[in-house]
Structure 1
Amino acid sequence: MINTQSQTLEACCAEYERRYGRKPPPHFDTWFQVAQEQGFLLVDEFDSMMATMEPLWGVAPSDIRARVENVIEASQGQGMYRLTVSEGSFTNIGNWMSSVFGTWFKPNVLETLPNMTLAMNTMDEPKVVVPHDMLSHAMKTARNRRKDTPSPGKNPDLAQHVDFLSIGKQNTWDALSVSCAPDTMARDFSLEARKSPYLTEMGFLSNVTLSKDVCQFPELHNIHAGLRHPDSMTLTHALVPVFSQAKATCFNDLLYPSPFYVEKMRMEEYKEKEDTEWEEKKNIVYWTGSNTGGRSTHENWRSLQRQRLALMTLDKNRPINLLNRVQKFGGLSSEWVSINSTIASISNNTRVRISAAIQCEEDACAEQNEELQIQTGERDEISAGYEARYNLDIDGNGLSGRFYRLLMSKSAVLKQTLYQEWHDDWLIPWVHYVPLSMDLRDFPEIVRYLTQEPEGEALGQKVAQNSYEWSRRVLRSEDMKLVWWRLMLEYGRLFNDDRDEMYYRV
């Protein structure tokens, strides 16, 4: 990937046109020059972020502008705020994120941007779920448009209308699955449940991206707290550009670098002097945190991701499958064979603990305090994770804000997530982190392999070194500012009536 990145403006423009079927936006040359000066490595890798914007090319700019105004108005303070760029300056009416955007909208950036208004979602949860027929129509229009921009809706009251549904503290499936195609398992109830082709018998992920597809594998909805029973969630079914920090595949929000990451880096949350070298670290997988992720009830809490992890590791007699290397006849080769075991076989190599039961009904809180052996008030220091060779990172109410800090550390990261983020094109599984399946079937063998097999320990050390070095090359504050700038060039063009004439001219 590094070796294929464009080294010249001409090559970058050609690669852009090859990938996206249109010329780059105005001032692309200015962006590219600054990117080169600041050592921005992955100038071509924006596919995940661009994909979220593509349906908007099938919507008239006037309808987009009106929907943005209406979505801000309809949110009634539910975590949405307005960010406006006008005549080379910006107005930021929002929360603590204001300081982050202040560093991103420098004068040299504002000079390149047209007038536009953004709807910024500050909530953990995404906001936009577009019904599949509407999304398909927009994508078809986007692909088939010739010179003319799509016409505005003939009935503005309908074409520009935005409403919010409040579906927190309840099962969300009916509201979320409408974005799935009719021939997917999520919508076609005649289809039999099938084993995911992206999971091996042991549960290892062979394709991290496709394994997150909630429409193809609706069972994921039942084992992820943020989808099954979120503590709070308000969403719209309108195709409206809302910038969110992370989303599941059934959502249509626009992705951008999370200000949480930026702020934690500014505060220097990771302090290298508190970290230890690999050889000095304990040979364990470490995770501790509260039970956040959704609203816990008596009926659902045992199925939510953080609680399932804690229940698994607490039950020493829990049956699991591990792998054992067996020599073939003659001893010239070997193969891995599945064997039956219990959690006790890896207990010495795990340290997992729920530190607090919150966001739960009274009986569910009491049950979790007892069954998960929660000691109220006992929280570990951030540096405690650096004592372990492996740090586990799991979704909470939204993305995990600790992810970049863990990548920057000298420990390896085990990552379990159902969310898509802006960096998905930049972080490679089994190179920069170890992926975990949502059902955790692979967790016991991954722990055993990384902590008890010499080749596994060597792999873990390599992943730790890779992430330590890579995060300092592509997850810098400068990188996220440049990503944001590039997204603003794209979004500003979408927002403008003359967008088909707005492109960089050599």
Structure 2
Amino acid sequence: MASEMCGRFIRLCLGGHRIFKYIILIALILTCTIAYFINESNTSAERVDRIHAAPLVSQPHEHPIGKLIVHAQAEQRRLLSRQSHNLSMAMMRYHERRGRRPPPGFDAWYKYAQKHDAIVVEEFFDRIYDDLNPFWTIEPRELRRRSSPWAHEHVISVRNRKAILKTTHADPMGRMPEWHRLVDELAQWLPDVDLPMNIMDESRLLVPWEEINDRMQQEAAERSVAHLSTVRTEFTGLPSIDAEPEDDHFDVRWELMGPYWDLLRQSCPPDSPSRNISSIDIYHDAIDMPITYPRHSFLGYVQNWTLARDPCQHPHLRSLHGTFIEPVSIKTTQSLIPLFGGSKLPRNNDILFPPAMYLSAEGVYAGRGDQGPEWTQKKDGVIWRGVASGGRNKAETWMHFHRHRFVQMLNGTAVHGSETGSLPADGTTFKLPTQGHYSLVAPRNESLGIWLSAVTDVAFTRLECFPLPPNPADEALCPYTNPYFVLRAPIPMHAQYGFKYLPDVDGNSYSGRFRAFLHDSGSVVLKATLYCEWHDSRLMPWLHFVPLDNTFIDVYGVLHFFLAAEDNGAHDELAESIAREGRVWANKVLRRADMALYTWRLILEFARLCDDSRDVLGWIDNLES
């Protein structure tokens, strides 16, 4: 009740014509905030528990992981306290966080959210604005040219409430049809717009830091709330683009450049650790793997998921991830152009879209839609199967690839060989943690390698040699890695749900299995990635999944905490809690309806950017007019 009354007062003030009314507005916001929390204090805890019944740890655990879990639970409660429960509140949250009016169509968007019981927290959509804000510094006409179907190979266009698919080259992964289907479902509510899409695995835009910083500062300085008397509530459309002759299109200057690390570090802040560190000589330099606690960690474990994934903070990753060694494909530009895709590195300037793999019903990404068995029926162990992707691994470079390192580090034989010195140096992709770090005590005083052999089942199903053998049947005969890896048969995704721990690591870019693992498995997802995705703001590490450092140096401590519990207590219960919360939460915020809501909001905001009236374009509540 208090929130609705306050919302009406605020909207009336926004519609005023004199400066002093804005002073009244500030006072009203303060008053209403106090009134709101007094009114809601008796029901907010009940509402949060109803939405997200996170089990509380009664006492802070002495182990760092226990403390990180408690902190994550508190952060989730804080975030959910800002949920919008009606349109007025959603408008108010938008205004206070974005500094603009919502775009036209915001009311229909929120009505769809209510119809589908979506959890609406304004922070869930932060990624949209992080991605789009630099484009406010490009004039609308130029932005329309840069996103025109004549300037790109793969575009989804909306015209007259219908989505149109345009491709000029092959789409081997079938991403465009999935994206087109999603946009077409929403087209009845969308303005005319052009969406250039990236169908490649790798992200493609790397604008230097200095330019992006200047653009972000300019956007922040020019941001404002359009006065009610000037607001336009209808999009203009794209008549100029549709009438423009084809020979006047924008020419995107794609370049095949490398090494990729040297492009990326130009996008790093000048004072970041990686900015002045050059790429390695991939054919001669050894791996640069830290063996102490990772930078920004909490006693060795990930505490800031954003910093943990930022290559600008971790220069050693230039020798430890296939993206920086030799990507499968690279076609990039340092120009700021609109390009939508499923994932990107933290410093890429691509605009994130829900990945096509998450929209697909293919078993390799979605399983069979089955839910995994109950926790007590799962095996106490780790399962992983995958191909040796991540880039073009060659005889001279495979030791630098992240998936090869991951498989070796969780292979008991390889780890035991490293412990005893029997694993040859030229076949080693990793280093063990420094003695004293992570306090590893293998059960029954066995070696770490012997213990891992009992709890992990991790292997490649295909070696992805480069160049590929002429005869596909010879794929298993990859001479430079044959001595170090034994291929095993694939295991269907739904069968993997029978294990308690499911690692998920990057391939050529993000892993397409993450959503299904969270949504269906009921297992603990161990997640390591450099890549950002659309859902990052709505998932909480240590509550919905277990984050891993991209060196994987912390993986032994994580597994020891959850699987070797006799010396530390019943950590299996904490693992079950994370598994349960991950599945419950994913079924609330990672549904197709949630991806549709994110896409819908993104398209409304991008269409506004492309509109000549964008500075005064917005949605007006009926009570304001």
CA contact (8 A) 1:324 1:339 kept: no
Q: Distance in 2 between matches of 1:384 and 1:198?
A: 36
Aligned partner of 1:419 in structure 2 is 531
Q: 1:250 aligns with which of 347, 357, 365?
A: 347
Summarize the alignment of residues 135-174 of structure 1 with structure 2, pairs less than 5 Å apart: 135-145=212-222, 162-167=252-257, 171-174=259-262
C-alpha distance after superposition, 1:306-340 (max 9, x if no partner): 10012222322434459999xxxxxxxxxx85669
Match of 1:175 among 263, 266, 276: 263
Residues 86-485 of structure 1: pairs in structure 2 closer than 5 A:
86-94=159-167, 95=171, 96-106=174-184, 109-145=186-222, 162-167=252-257, 171-188=259-276, 197-201=295-299, 203-264=300-361, 269-271=366-368, 275-312=372-409, 313=411, 314-315=413-414, 316-319=416-419, 320-321=432-433, 337=439, 342-361=448-467, 365-374=478-487, 378-407=489-518, 408-453=520-565, 454-485=569-600
Q: Which runs of 5+ in 1 are unaligned?
A: 150-156, 326-335
Q: Which residue of 2 aligns with 1:68?
A: 147
C-alpha contact (below 8 Å) 1:65/1:495 kept by paired residues: yes
Superposition deviation, residue 226 in structure 1: 2.1
Q: Distance between the aligned counterparts of 2:136 and 2:85, measured in 1?
A: 29
One of 480, 494, 498 as aligned partner of 2:609: 494
State the shift of 1:268 in Å: 9.2
Distance 1:498 1:265 in 2: 42
Q: Give the match for residue 153 of structure 1.
A: none
Asked if the contact 1:2/1:42 (under 8 Å) is kept, the reply is: no
Contact 2:82–2:121 (CA under 8 A) maintained in structure 1: no
Structure 2 residue 127 is the aligned partner of structure 1 residue 56: no
Residue identity opposite 2:374 in structure 1: E
Contact preservation (8 Å) 1:418, 1:438? yes
CA contact (8 A) 1:416 1:437 kept: yes
The one of 65, 78, 95 aligned to 1:17: 95
Query: Could you tell me which residue of structure 1 aligns to residue 106 of structure 2?
Result: 28
Q: CA deviation at 1:295?
A: 0.9
> Residues of 2 paired with 1:379 and 1:431: CA distance?
29
| Amino acid of the structure 2 residue aligned with 1:397 | N
Contact 2:365 2:512 in 1 (8 A): no
- Which has more helix, going by share of residues? 2
- Quick check: 1:283–1:389 contact (8 Å CA) kept in 2? yes
Specify whether residues 98 and 218 from structure 1 end up closer, same or farther in structure 2 by C-alpha distance, changes over 3 A only. Answer: same
- Structure 1 CA distance, aligned partners of 2:364 and 2:213? 43
Q: For residues 119 and 466 of structure 2, what CA distance do their matches in structure 1 show?
A: 44
Residue 238 of structure 1 deviates from its aligned partner by 0.7
SS at match of 2:80: coil
> 1:35-54 alignment to 2 at 5 Å?
35-44=113-122, 45-54=124-133
Aligned counterparts of 2:164 and 2:259: Cα–Cα separation in 1: 37
Report if the CA contact (8 A) 1:286-1:391 is conserved: yes
8 Å Cα contact 2:440/2:560 also seen in 1: no
* CA shift for structure 1 position 223: 1.3
Q: Note the alpha carbon deviations across 1:273-303, whole angstroms, 9 max, x for none.
A: 5732211211101111110111102232112
User: 1:269: how far off?
Assistant: 3.4
Shift of 1:111: 4.3
Query: Which sits farther off after the overlay, 413-422 or 313-322?
Result: 313-322
Distance 1:269 1:83 in 2: 24
Specify the SS of the correspondent of 2:527: strand
Assess if the C-alpha contact under 8 Å between 1:213 and 1:249 holds in 2. Answer: yes
Q: Aligned partners of 1:267 and 1:311: how far apart in 2?
A: 23
8 A Cα contact 1:321 1:338, kept in partner: no
Identity in percent: 30
Q: Secondary structure at the match of 2:147?
A: helix
Could you say what secondary structure the match of 1:287 adopts? strand
Whether contact under 8 Å (1:114, 1:493) holds in the other structure is no
Q: Please give the TM-score of this superposition, normalised by the length of structure 2.
A: 0.70
Alpha-carbon spacing, 1:265–1:442, altered in 2? closer, same or farther (3 Å): same
Give distance in 2, aligned partners of 1:414 and 1:89: 40
> Once the 2 structures are TM-superposed, how far is the Cα of residue 266 of structure 1 from its aligned partner?
9.6
Give the TM-score of the pair, scaled to structure 1: 0.86
CA distance in 1, matches of 2:367, 2:116: 22
- 2 CA distance for matches of 1:65 and 1:304? 39
1:113 Cα deviation from its structure 2 partner: 2.7
1:427 deviation in Å? 1.1
Between stretches 445-454 and 312-321, larger displacement belongs to 312-321
1:384 offset after TM fit, Å? 3.1
Structure 2: any 5+ residue segments left out of the alignment? Answer: 1-78, 227-246, 279-289, 420-431, 470-476
What is the one-letter code of the residue matched to 1:372? F
Which has more radius of gyration?
A: 2
Contact 2:204 2:350 in 1 (8 A): yes
In the TM superposition, residue 365 of structure 1 has moved relative to its aligned partner by: 3.4
